[in-house]
Amino acid sequence: MPSTSNGSRTGLARLLVALAVGLAANSILGPLVLDVIDYRYSDSLVNQGIGLDAVALLGAAPIAIVAAALVHGRHPAGPLVAFVPATFAAYMTPQYVIGPDYLGLPGNNERFFVFHLALFVTALATVVTAWRSVDRGRLRPDTEAGDRRRSLVLIGVAAFILLGRWLAGVVDLLGGDPTGTDYRENPTAYLLIGLLDLGVVVPASIATAVGLRRHIRWARVASYAVIGWFTLVPASVAAMAVVMQLNDDPNATTGATLLFVIAAGVFTTGAALLYRPMFDTAARPRVAPTSADRDGPGRNDTHVSQGAAP
Domain assignment of residue 143, yes or no: yes
Rounded distance between C-alpha atoms, residue 129 and residue 83, angstroms: 10
Rounded distance between C-alpha atoms, residue 198 and residue 111, angstroms: 30
Contact (CB, 8 A) for 37 and 26: yes
Domain assignment of residue 161, yes or no: yes
Interval 256-307: pLDDT, tens? 999 999 999 999 999 999 999 999 855 455 554 444 444 444 434 444 344 4
Domain assignment of residue 310, yes or no: no
> Domain tally for the chain?
1
Interval 146-159: pLDDT, tens? 999 999 999 999 99
DSSP 140: S
Burial label, 49 (beta-carbon count in 10 A; 0-12, 13-18, 19+): buried
User: How does DSSP assign 18-69, residue by residue?
Assistant: HHHHHHHHHHHHSTTTT--S-----HHHHHHHHHHHHHIIIIIHHHHHHHHH
- What pLDDT does residue 5 have? 61
Domain assignment of residue 308, yes or no: no
User: Comparing 46-60, 102-116, 278-292, which segment has the lowest mean pLDDT?
Assistant: 278-292
The answer to pTM > 0.85 is yes
Residue span of the structural domain in which 291 resides: 6-301
- What pLDDT does residue 22 have? 98
Domain assignment of residue 253, yes or no: yes
- What pLDDT does residue 8 have? 83
Domain assignment of residue 149, yes or no: yes
Burial label, 184 (beta-carbon count in 10 A; 0-12, 13-18, 19+): exposed
What is the H or E stretch that residue 280 is in?
A: helix 254-280
Domain assignment of residue 206, yes or no: yes
Count CA within 13 A, CB hemisphere, residue 146.
Answer: 25
User: How does DSSP assign 55-74, residue by residue?
Assistant: HIIIIIHHHHHHHHHHHHTT
Domain assignment of residue 307, yes or no: no
Q: What is the CA radius of gyration of the chain?
A: 20
Contact (CB, 8 A) for 215 and 144: yes
Rounded distance between C-alpha atoms, residue 141 and residue 308, angstroms: 9
Contact (CB, 8 A) for 50 and 243: yes
Asked whether residue 237 carries a pLDDT value surpassing 50, the answer given is yes
Rounded distance between C-alpha atoms, residue 7 and residue 5, angstroms: 5
Phi, psi of 285 (to 5 degrees): -60, 140
Rounded to the nearest 10°, the torsion over CA 51, 56, 58, 64 is 170
Contact (CB, 8 A) for 155 and 205: yes
- What pLDDT does residue 142 have? 86
Count CA within 13 A, CB hemisphere, residue 170.
Answer: 13
Residue 71 amino acid letter: V
- What pLDDT does residue 291 have? 44
- What pLDDT does residue 301 have? 44
